[in-house]
Chain A
Amino acid sequence: MSDLPLIQADRAVPPPAATTSTGGRRRRLRLLSRTDRVVVTLMVLVPLLIVTGFVWLPAAATVLLSGTNWDGIGPLNEIEFVGARNYSDVVNIYPPFVPAIQHNLLWLAVLFVVATPFGMFLAVLLDKELRGSRFYQTALYLPVVLSLALIGFVWQLLYSRDQGLINAVFGSNIDWYGDSNVNIWAVMVASGWRHVGYIMLLYLAGLKGVDPSLREAAAVDGASESRTFFRVVFPVLRPINIIVLVVTVIESLRAFDLVWVVNKGRNGLELISALVTQNVVGEASRIGFGSALATIMLVVSLVFITIYLATVMREDRQ
């Protein structure tokens, strides 16, 4: 949550000159008053407890439950351990699993290749101080603000086979939500619609922070607009680029709401997150099996999180 700004602010303090780093740190600690120390301790302890209690314990419990066949009925001490059976069932006899993995990857690819660059492109355009720039910003950012129920409804109006706007206008007969070859793309458009606005705003904020003198210097040197962007602005925006990248990865991994609204993640719209929900939440209560799916998802997420953290830490060290 607020750990990144803290690190950055820390960095902004000039390191004490001509002392070893350990010695410097010790002296700085001694400079803190008692109130400061209490505040610092609280600031570390409270988030630590929250993170442990609400993130790590449930995550560990999920991993533990994934080795059981608990169905939510009966006391906890009657839970039976079944080893890796849930995992072998997921891989071997659960037909939606493989499509779900494929769809998650496809989702990542489309957001990364199409939606994110398009959002960045829009940001660059809007950075040009066009007339009505605010209006465009609002219009493009609106999908991010709309509630999920509303978005599901809006797209249902467009995509419905018998009563939808698209088929009515073009006289076509495409089953946008029902045909499993088409519906993933239809939902992807809806999802991209939302993602573009998000990335645009994020990137626009970064662009506004670029020192104008850099651009002026490039212009004086005779660089064209696109050359200025790719050779000067883009490299300067490296931290923002990383954030955009991470946001894209996260958005594609946690993609859930739209497919859930459309058809509860079935028939061509399988996603890991939807499968977890189908199995665990609600009356189904296949808690062991669903936890196995959730654990798989956690492992996939960890891969990306590790890459991200490794990059950030390497940067910090430099």
Chain B
Amino acid sequence: MSRPRSQAEYLARLVPPSVAGINRRSLLAGAAGTGALLGTGLLAGCGDDSGSGGSSKDVSLGSNQSDPKPKDVLVKVTDGFKTSSGVQVAVNTVDHNTFQENINNYLQGKPDDVFTWFAGYRMRFFAQKGLASDISDVWSKLSGYSDAFKKASTGDDGKQYFVPASYYPWAVFYRKSVWKQYGYQVPTTLDQFTALGAQMKRDGLTPIAFADKDGWPAMGTFDILNLRINGYQFHIDLMAGKEAWTSDKVKKVFDTWAGLLPLHQPDSLGRTWQEAAQSLQQKKSGMYLLGLFVGQQFTTEEQDDLDFFTFPEIDPSIGAKALDAPIDGYMMARKPKNEDNARKLLEYFGGKDAADITVKNDPATLVANTGADVSGYTALQKKAAELVGSATEIAQFLDRDTRPDFASTVIIPAIQQFIKDPKDIGGLTSSIENQKKSIFTD
């Protein structure tokens, strides 16, 4: 840089990038609209490459399994498919979050023949919008699935659009050693649950570990309370925007939760689920309502000390048989290039062989097909599989059971507000209802 000749010239060179960055600001705002269009190009481009063959000997698969382990397992499963059918699978892997965030553009562009997705509201929504194909004929050839899994794979029109592959349940986890030390018993009613919590408090434990910094873990608590108090059908209708949030039924859920909040770990809005799980692991907390993935925070030796029970019954006429167990699986795009092969692939994914390969290579997964050889499961996994197998209905977790915009922009702030101020339930529910009406317009 040459020496400036005058002071004015010198100062003029000092304009920092962020002054010029005024443009960047409005660009950000504008990118709002165009980001979607760019995303289309990216993902559609990927889909194009892998599906361009179009011969009868291959099929393309869009996968969100970007972590090394599941990615590797998927390769082994598709190899198995190739051996049994002779069809080559072109796997197009996209980062998990990116895949999820771009799903709208992906499905509207040129998606792969088969793609990974979740059971729940979005699955039914894509089916209804014609962005996924009916695969009822594949289901007629599948065996080893409970009715709850079939229900979770069915669209609003009664046809199947989804093949389940794996799942994990949400339940109340605890350490056997701690419970043995204090002589606690698994509660089966809400009263017993509350009494147990009070006893834990007297014993110097935090009864229920709790974290909601990221906004989603507390959804699990809302789900299970709503399922226990109002039942599965009401929960699903509420999530689909068909029931009013201002109804007494929803208020009762928040009331019950408000009663339980003093048993929860305080200051949950600054805590991640990992930190809450560690308080359970360090024997500071008595129990924790979370998904099976809570085990990640425990060492290998401690895995045997981890146990769980399903959330106790609140209303005897509703029982305690429904639960959250998010299911991952596969769907078929609209107008797949190789429809026959896509159906064959889905049938293979839903079959026993694929499940066996998965369990053998990734023992941490619970496979959806009950016909699979699960002798490698740990005691905890076996219990989890039994729990879900005996469930009458399976909910998919709040953010999968409703519109993603409603879950992330309305429910997360609302639940955090509730945790901060559990008294104003009337104001909270009417705020949710007003926003719901503006989001669920069609």
Interface residues, chain A, CB within 8 Å of chain B?
A: 1-2, 4-5, 7-9, 11-12, 51, 54-55, 57-62, 64-65, 69, 71-74, 85, 89, 92-96, 159-163, 173, 175-180, 183, 198, 202, 205-206, 209, 211, 239-240, 243, 246-247, 250-251, 253-254, 263-264, 266-267, 273, 276, 278-287, 290-291, 294-295, 297-298, 301, 305
A179→B267 contact, CB < 8 A: yes
Q: A175-B270, A276-B29, A305-B22 are in contact. Are A286 and B405 (CB under 8 A)?
A: yes
A282→B27 contact, CB < 8 A: no
Q: Name B439's closest neighbour in chain A (CB-CB).
A: A286
Q: Give the interface size bracket for B toward A.
A: 35 or more
What are the residues of chain A within 8 A of B441 when measuring CB–CB?
69
28 sampled A-B residue pairs with Cβ under 8 A: A5-B15, A54-B30, A57-B30, A58-B27, A58-B30, A58-B32, A59-B27, A61-B34, A71-B405, A72-B104, A72-B105, A95-B414, A161-B275, A162-B278, A179-B267, A180-B269, A211-B7, A240-B14, A246-B19, A250-B22, A263-B269, A264-B214, A266-B412, A283-B100, A284-B404, A298-B25, A298-B26, A301-B22
Identify A267's interface contact among B12, B29, B420, B435, CB under 8 A: B420
Interface centre among B5, B26, B36, B103 (most CB of A within 10 A): B26
Q: A178-B269, A179-B269, A298-B29 are in contact. Are A247 and B19 (CB under 8 A)?
A: yes
A178 CB, nearest partner CB in chain B, Å:
2
Q: Which residues, 1 to 36 on B, are CB-close (under 8 Å) to A?
A: 4-16, 18-36
B123 CB, nearest partner CB in chain A, Å:
13
A115 CB, nearest partner CB in chain B, Å:
14
- Residue B213, interface by CB 8 Å: yes
Interface residues, chain B, CB within 8 Å of chain A?
A: 4-16, 18-36, 100-101, 103-105, 108, 129, 213-215, 267-271, 275, 278-279, 404-405, 408-409, 412-414, 416-417, 420, 431, 434-435, 438-439, 441
B274 CB, nearest partner CB in chain A, Å:
10
Q: A267-B413, A285-B405, A286-B409 are in contact. Are A297 and B8 (CB under 8 A)?
A: no
What are the residues of chain A within 8 A of B404 when measuring CB–CB?
282-285
Identify A280's interface contact among B22, B32, B438, CB under 8 A: B32
Question: 9 closest Cβ contacts across the A-B interface?
Answer: A178-B270, A58-B30, A178-B269, A8-B12, A175-B267, A294-B29, A284-B405, A177-B270, A283-B404
A12→B5 contact, CB < 8 A: yes
B12→A5 contact, CB < 8 A: yes
What are the residues of chain B within 8 A of A280 when measuring CB–CB?
32, 35
Q: A58-B34, A85-B438 are in contact. Are A284 and B409 (CB under 8 A)?
A: yes
What are the residues of chain A within 8 A of B213 when measuring CB–CB?
177-178, 263
B10→A250 contact, CB < 8 A: no
B292 CB, nearest partner CB in chain A, Å:
23
A7 CB, nearest partner CB in chain B, Å:
8
A266→B413 contact, CB < 8 A: yes
What are the residues of chain B within 8 A of A7 when measuring CB–CB?
12
A94→B435 contact, CB < 8 A: yes
Identify A243's interface contact among B14, B36, B439, CB under 8 A: B14
Q: A162-B271, A283-B100 are in contact. Are A250 and B25 (CB under 8 A)?
A: yes
Instruction: Give CA–CA (A223, B324) in the complex, Å.
Output: 75
A287→B15 contact, CB < 8 A: no
What are the residues of chain B within 8 A of A183 when measuring CB–CB?
270
B22→A12 contact, CB < 8 A: no
Identify A8's interface contact among B9, B30, B413, CB under 8 A: B9
Q: A4-B12, A73-B104, A254-B28 are in contact. Are A93 and B405 (CB under 8 A)?
A: no
Instruction: Give CA–CA (A280, B37) in the complex, Å.
Output: 12
Instruction: Give CA–CA (A58, B35) in the complex, Å.
Output: 10
Q: Name A156's closest neighbour in chain B (CB-CB).
A: B272
B19→A243 contact, CB < 8 A: yes
